[in-house]
C-alpha cells in the first residue's frame, strides 16, 4: 500500500500469478476464459435468487460437459474420416436443445453486470481485467472512502464465484479470436512467429487459446483451474491513493 494524497481516490490492483503459461496445450485459453467468467457474478451478486438458480446452474454444467464430450467425439471421427453414427448426431441434437432450455430458465434469475452497476454507483473508473502469459490482473479506481465496498465485492468474487453463461461466453471468446487472429493477417503472422520462436514452450501458445480447443474448454476444468491458482499465496494486492491508516 502506498499513500498518495494528491487526489481523494484509490487505485486498486489484484494480481494473480497465473496466466496462459500455466496451462497445458489441451486447456489453452482457460486463464483468459476464467478472467471473463469472474465478471459473471457470485452467489450473492448478479442473481435475484441463488437458491432457486443453483439447481439450473448445476444442470447447465453437467449437460454442457456431456455435450462437449459428444461433440469432441464427433470431431475426432471427422478428423479420422470415419462415419458419424446417427445415434451420436441425435444425442448431440437433444443435448443442444436441453442446454438451450436450461440457459433460458437460468436467465430469469440473472442480473447481468450487477457488479459493474454497484461499482458505478460508488464512483468507479476503469473497472477491467487482462490476462498475459504469467499474470491475470483485475483493476479499478474508486473514491478513497469506498475501500470497504471494494473489499466486500472482491472477497465475495473470490469466495463465491459462479461461472454463469459459461457456454455463451465461450462462444464470445471464440468470436473474439476470429476477429483478432483469423480475420487479421498480422494476428496469424504473430501467432505463427511465436509458435516457431518458442517451439514447445507455453510462451509460444496464444493467451486466448486455439480455434481447435476453445469450443471444448470444460467448465469443471475451468473451476479446478480457479481453485488451483486463485489462492492467497498466489496473489498480490496493490493499493495506491488517499489511504487512511488510522
246 inside domain? no
Query: How many residues belong to the chain?
Result: 246
Confidence at residue 12, expressed as pLDDT on a 0 to 100 scale? 99
Do 105 and 197 fall into the same domain? no
CA dihedral 201, 203, 209, 210 (to 10 degrees): -50
| Last residue in a domain, options 109, 131, 153 | 109
Confidence at residue 147, expressed as pLDDT on a 0 to 100 scale? 97
Do 80 and 123 fall into the same domain? no
How many domains, in total, are found in the chain? 2
219 inside domain? yes
Write out the residue range of the structural domain in which residue 138 sits.
Answer: 2-45+115-241
Do 80 and 119 fall into the same domain? no
The cell numbers describing 32, all together, are 483468459
Confidence at residue 68, expressed as pLDDT on a 0 to 100 scale? 98
Do 154 and 223 fall into the same domain? yes
| Last residue in a domain, options 63, 89, 109 | 109
Question: Rounded to two decimals, what is the model's pTM?
Answer: 0.95
The cell numbers describing 168, all together, are 455463451
Measure CA 228 to chain center.
Answer: 15
Confidence at residue 201, expressed as pLDDT on a 0 to 100 scale? 93
Do 129 and 32 fall into the same domain? yes
Do 234 and 139 fall into the same domain? yes
Do 212 and 188 fall into the same domain? yes
Q: What is the pLDDT of residues 40-81, one digit of tens each?
A: 999 999 999 999 999 999 999 999 999 999 999 999 999 999
Do 177 and 198 fall into the same domain? yes
| Last residue in a domain, options 87, 109, 131 | 109
135 inside domain? yes
Do 180 and 202 fall into the same domain? yes
Rounded Cα distance between 216 and 166, Å, is: 12
The position carrying cell 503459461 is 21
Confidence at residue 63, expressed as pLDDT on a 0 to 100 scale? 99
Confidence at residue 234, expressed as pLDDT on a 0 to 100 scale? 98
The position carrying cell 474420416 is 81
The position carrying cell 453414427 is 85
194 inside domain? yes
9 inside domain? yes
Write out residues in the chain with pLDDT < 50, as ranges: none
What CATH number is attached to the domain comprising 229?
3.30.830.10
188 inside domain? yes
Do 124 and 35 fall into the same domain? yes
Please spell the DSSP secondary structure of the chain, one letter per residue: -EE-TTSSEEEEEEEES--GGGS-GGGTTHHHHHHHHTTS-BSSSSBS-HHHHHHHHHHHHHHHHHHHHHHHHHHHHHHTT-PPPHHHHHHHHHHHHHHHHHHHHHHTTB-TTHHHHHHHHTT-EEEEEEE-SS-EEEEEEEEGGGHHHHHHHHHHHHHSB--TTHHHHHHHHHHHHIIIIIT-HHHHHHHHHHHHHHTTSGGGS-TT--TTTGGG--HHHHHHHHHHH-SGGGEEEEEEES----
Do 129 and 191 fall into the same domain? yes
Amino acid at each position: 500500500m502506498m499513500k498518495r494524497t494528491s487526489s481523494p481516490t484509490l487505485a486498486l490492483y489484484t494480481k494473480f500469478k497465473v496466466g496462459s503459461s500455466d496451462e497445458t496445450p489441451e486447456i489453452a485459453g482457460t486463464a483468459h476464459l476464467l478472467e471473463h467468467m469472474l465478471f459473471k457474478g457470485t452467489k450473492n451478486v448478479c442473481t435475484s435468487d441463488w437458491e432457486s438458480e443453483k439447481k439450473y446452474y448445476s444442470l447447465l454444467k453437467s449437460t454442457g460437459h456431456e455435450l462437449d464430450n459428444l461433440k469432441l467425439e464427433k470431431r475426432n471421427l471427422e478428423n479420422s474420416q470415419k462415419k458419424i453414427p446417427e445415434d451420436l448426431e441425435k444425442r448431440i441434437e437433444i443435448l443442444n436443445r436441453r442446454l438451450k432450455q436450461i440457459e433460458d430458465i437460468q436467465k430469469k434469475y440473472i442480473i447481468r453486470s450487477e457488479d459493474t452497476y454497484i461499482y458505478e454507483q460508488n464512483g468507479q473508473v476503469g473497472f477491467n481485467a487482462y490476462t498475459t502469459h504469467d499474470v491475470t490482473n483485475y483493476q479499478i479506481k474508486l473514491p478513497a472512502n469506498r475501500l470497504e465496498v471494494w473489499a466486500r465485492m472482491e472477497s465475495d468474487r473470490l469466495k463465491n464465484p459462479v461461472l454463469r453463461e459459461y457456454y455463451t461466453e465461450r462462444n464470445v471468446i471464440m468470436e473474439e479470436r476470429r476477429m483478432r487472429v483469423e480475420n487479421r493477417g498480422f494476428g496469424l503472422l504473430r501467432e505463427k512467429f511465436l509458435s516457431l520462436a518458442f517451439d514447445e514452450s507455453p510462451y509460444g501458445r496464444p493467451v486466448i487459446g486455439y480455434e481447435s480447443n476453445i469450443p471444448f474448454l470444460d467448465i469443471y476444468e475451468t473451476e479446478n483451474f480457479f481453485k488451483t491458482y486463485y489462492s492467497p499465496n498466489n496473489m498480490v494486492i496493490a493499493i495506491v491513493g488517499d489511504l487512511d491508516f488510522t
